[in-house]
Structures are given as C-alpha cells and as structure tokens.
Amino acid sequence: MSQIVLITGASRGIGAATALQAARAGYAVAVNYTANSLAADEVVRQIRQGGGTAITVQADVADESQVLAMFDKVDAKLGRLTALVNNAGVVDRTERVDGMSVARLKRMFDINVIGTMVCAREAVKRMSTRYGGTGGAIVNVSSAAARLGGPGQYVDYAAAKGAVDTFTLGLAKEVAAEGIRVNAVRPGIIETDIHASGGLPDRARTMAPQVPMQRAGSADEVAQSIVWLLGSGSSYTTGALLDIAGGR
C-alpha cells in the first residue's frame, strides 16, 4: 500500500527537511505552504529529482475552507492520506504578556492550535478504520517551550504548544483503537529561520551555551525523529511527547 503524507508548513525549516526525508523513506509527499510558492516548488523539485513523488498544496491552516480544499486536492492528486505532520506554526516578536494584543494571541492560537486540530480532524476522517481507512500516523510539532514557558519572549507561543501537547495526548487515546497513532516532537533550539521571523535571527547561536550539548540542533535531526514516528519502527508508540532539545 502506498504511503501518503501531508506536511504542513513544509516549504522551509523542519517541514522541508521532513518532506525530503519522508520522500527518501518512500512516502508520496504533499508539501503545504502558505505564501512562499517558490520555496515549496524547490522542495518538490528536489524530491522528484531523487525519484520521489510530491505535489505542492497551498493553504493557510488558520482558514478552515483552505484546509478542506487542501485535503481534497491531496485526495485527488495522491490518494487517501496515511500520514500527517502538523508542522505549520508561527512565533511573534519577543514581548512580555502585559504587552501582548488580543490580535497577536488569536493569530498564535488560530495557526498553532486550531490549525493543528482541524488538520488532524480531516486526517482522522481519512485514516480511521471507523471511516473505512486502514490506519495511519499523525505527528504534531510542538516545542520544548511548552514545558519551559518562554518567559520574557514567547509565553503565548509556549502556551499554544502546551495546548498541542494536551491535544496530542487526548487524540492518541481517542483513535488508538482505530489504527491511528498520534505523537508529538518537542524541538528545542533549532537552526531555522523561524527565529528571524520573530526578530531574533541569531537566537539559535546566542542560546546555544544554555543547551547541555552546547549547540543548537538542526532541522534534519528533528526530521529524522518525525519520520521514525510516522513509520513502522514506532508501531507501538502513541501518545508520546519526544523531546529533541539537546538535554535542555
């Protein structure tokens, strides 16, 4: 049976690395992006150059209608989904809670939490034996911030990722008997451009001394764990929150 994975936010960073590694593991890959079509096209080009199958699917995961259209396109172009990686996420400029606007908080939770839940909902409808599926795997990309709190920088982001952790645990138990495994990875300080989008392009380098391993991690290191959680090597693993944080 063909393995088909949808990876949200897959045009850059951890998502792009996961797309490339999943393709090498034999998955047909749907590369989701919000706005940067050129970056998504490049990921697909690399997958196809290596002999894999991939398509791009544009959608803002905070918009339900776009999410529904994205899943319909995956159905039509690749077939019935067997794996989902909820990777799309945002940070914002560093700010204390007493300076955060409601608009910022809504954006943070619409993308990082509600988007994750809606994508998972649609994946369950395709994977679950309850709906005629053959099972599958969901991996949510959380963050070590969920247990560290992000004080003085990203308390809202940390809180959103804490919600992702709780959602992972609950959904895993809810669909375990329907052939679906649900797990999460919690990356620590990783060298990706998400730090620049939050106004701190050198954050990974400056925070590396706080990590017991004395370095930031790479997107590829996180991707390896995600692909393992998707595959048969983790067949008895569900409801796990896997820290990939260098001991931090």
Query: Any idea which residues carry the catalytic annotation?
Result: 157
3-state secondary structure of 23: helix
238 Cβ contact partners less than 8 Å away, ≥ 6 residues apart = 172, 176, 181, 182, 183
Question: What Cα–Cα distance (Å) separates residue 102 from each residue in 60, 109, 147, 153, 163?
Answer: 20, 11, 23, 16, 18
164 Cβ contact partners less than 8 Å away, ≥ 6 residues apart = 86, 112, 113, 116, 140, 141, 142, 146, 184
> What is the Cα Rg of the chain in Å?
17
The one-letter amino acid at 15: G
Q: How far apart are CA 83 and CA 227, in angstroms?
A: 10
3-state secondary structure of 47: helix
Cβ atoms of residues 190 and 222 within 8 Å: yes
Q: How far apart are CA 244 and CA 248, in angstroms?
A: 9
